[in-house]
Amino acid sequence: CGVFGVIGVADAASFVALGLHALQHRGQEAGGIVTHDAGTGFHSDRRMGYVRDNFTSPEVIAGLPGSLGIGHVRYSTAGHKGQTAIRDVQPFFGEFSMGGAAVAHNGNITNANALRKELIARGSIFQSSSDTECIIHLMARSMGATIPDRMEEALRKVEGAFSVVAMTRTKLIGVRDPLGVRPLVLGRIDTGGGAPGWALASETCALDIIGATYLREIAPGEMVVISDEGVESHFPFRQKRQRFCIFEHVYFSRPDSIQGGRSVYETREAIGVELAKEAPVEADLVCPVPDSGTPAAIGYARQSGIPYGMGIVRNQYMGRTFIEPTEQIRNMGVRLKLNVNRALIRGKRVILVDDSVVRGTTSRKIKEMILDAGAAEVHFRIASPPTAWPCFYGVDTPERSKLLAATMSEDEMRDHLGVDSLRFISLDGLYRAVGEAGGRDPARPAYCDACFSGDYPVAPSDMIDRGFEL
């Protein structure tokens, strides 16, 4: 999911709509905006579908007045997967003795089932199937004197990954879980003279679109409370070593965002360079599976000296296939979205570079299309290690049995996909490419890489309760 918030600007809703539009790649099922206006109070609008279809009309924006607002774009990982109901669309809102608050959350609460059961037993009435709603009920039960105090207390009971953007009548709040699994950044908005405005966003590309200046990342375990008086920061949780999601670098973030002090594009190119060193092959053409494989393919081509070409062309008007929730839609999706550039492919030995293989659906279809177009050989090179474990921290990987790499060796996957060769970057190679010169330190890994290693930095307790074996 993507989260965004802004304070201290004339028309917060337009800023939030633009920010969410820039974060649309993080969630395409639904979106919502909450604003607060001193005269008329809180306003909320939550809708299914794209930001551009929902939050661009003057009427909708006029219904969201105020100088303070937050928003969320949703991609379902918890709750009722693939059948998002409007009641599951964020931000969520709660009314407390000291006023209202709205909350938008990116990540996954790994003890949400246990919390929900406990809260229901004590009288909470849940309105949605979302893990995020636990935060509101925990806040309601807190005895804290202020909303930020209550939020702090609530989040201390929550396990897993959370980057939260929240608001009260007068404050914009940003919090990141102690491991900093999901991203969250802070920007300043020049308002042309007076006090500056402030923005919180999942990625810096959402600051760029509103012309805000990127200041810094919210630190793991940090809470910022922003008001007319400026930005207040504190660290309410026990300090831990950061374990940022390494897959944000590989796939999830937009290439024009900055993560960990470096452009995601540059990181992806470096991954391609590393991949070419680890897994060279003789061929005529390096071709990305667009768009997610493109920067890595450019790096691979540069390092190998093999010409780069757009052998597959993407229809820009389809969403990310993966986000479409049912198997059937996903199967069709590949052809609706990607087409082979036959003139370029015919008779060539082609290296296809993609970011990841999950179920293998995409790779299989693409291989068929490339062979139909007359390719002489097809070699897959993958910019991440085999995805052998599900993610419980906010990325929608399927259950373990559906992951190709959970049940097959690399050679078996190659045969299953029917390609001439298949190689994945090593986990050490990936770490080198993201800037850890020494590779992965198994005693103190610098990132979360659980979907590749099975080394979960937070025990997924709800899943373990349900019988998931580590």
Q: Return residues touching ligand 5GP (CB under 6 A).
A: 251, 289, 292, 320, 322, 354-363, 387, 395-397
Tell me: is residue 448 an annotated ligand-binding position.
yes
Binding partner of residue 303 among ligand SF4, ligand 5GP, Mg ion, none, CB under 5 to 8 Å per kind? none
Among 1, 134, 205, 287, the one annotated catalytic: 1
The DSSP output letter for 221 is T
262 HSE (CA, 13 A, CB side): 14
Comparing every residue's Cβ against ligand 5GP, the nearest one is: 322
* 50 or 251: CB nearest ligand 5GP: 251
Binding partner of residue 300 among Mg ion, ligand SF4, ligand 5GP, none, CB under 5 to 8 Å per kind? none
Distance in Å, CB of 260 to Mg ion, minimum: 22
φ, ψ of residue 164 in degrees (nearest 5): -115, 135
Which residues pair with residue 442 across a beta bridge? none
Distance in Å, CB of 357 to Mg ion, minimum: 10
Distance in Å, CB of 356 to Mg ion, minimum: 7
Distance in Å, CB of 89 to ligand 5GP, minimum: 20
The two tokens of residue 294 are 């493109």
The two tokens of residue 89 are 């669309």
Distance in Å, CB of 377 to ligand 5GP, minimum: 21
287 is catalytic: no
* 24 or 292: CB nearest Mg ion: 292
Binding partner of residue 388 among ligand SF4, Mg ion, ligand 5GP, none, CB under 5 to 8 Å per kind? none
- For every residue of 82-116, DSSP letters joined together read T---GGGPSPEEEEETTEEEEEEEEEEETTHHHHH
Tell me: is residue 355 an annotated ligand-binding position.
yes
Dihedral sign (CA 351, 272, 321, 361): positive
Instruction: Provide the residue count of the chain.
Output: 470
Binding partner of residue 358 among Mg ion, ligand SF4, ligand 5GP, none, CB under 5 to 8 Å per kind? ligand 5GP
Q: What H or E segment, with its residue span, contains residue 44?
A: strand 41-48
118 HSE (CA, 13 A, CB side): 13
Position 442, amino acid: P
φ, ψ of residue 351 in degrees (nearest 5): -100, 120
* 251 or 392: CB nearest ligand 5GP: 251
* 130 or 292: CB nearest Mg ion: 292
Tell me: is residue 391 an annotated ligand-binding position.
yes
Tell me: is residue 263 an annotated ligand-binding position.
no
Tell me: is residue 205 an annotated ligand-binding position.
no
Q: Return residues touching ligand SF4 (CB under 6 A).
A: 181, 245-247, 391, 393, 395, 448-451
Q: In Å, how far are 72, 107, 225, 272, 395 from 253, measured between CA atoms?
A: 16, 14, 25, 17, 12
Alpha-carbon distance of 127 to 88, in angstroms, equals 8
Q: Are 213 and 188 in contact (CB under 8 A)?
A: yes
* 368 or 436: CB nearest Mg ion: 368
Q: Return residues touching Mg ion (CB under 5 A).
A: 292
Residue numbering of the annotated binding site for [4Fe-4S] cluster:
245, 391, 448, 451
Q: What residues are annotated to the active site?
A: 1
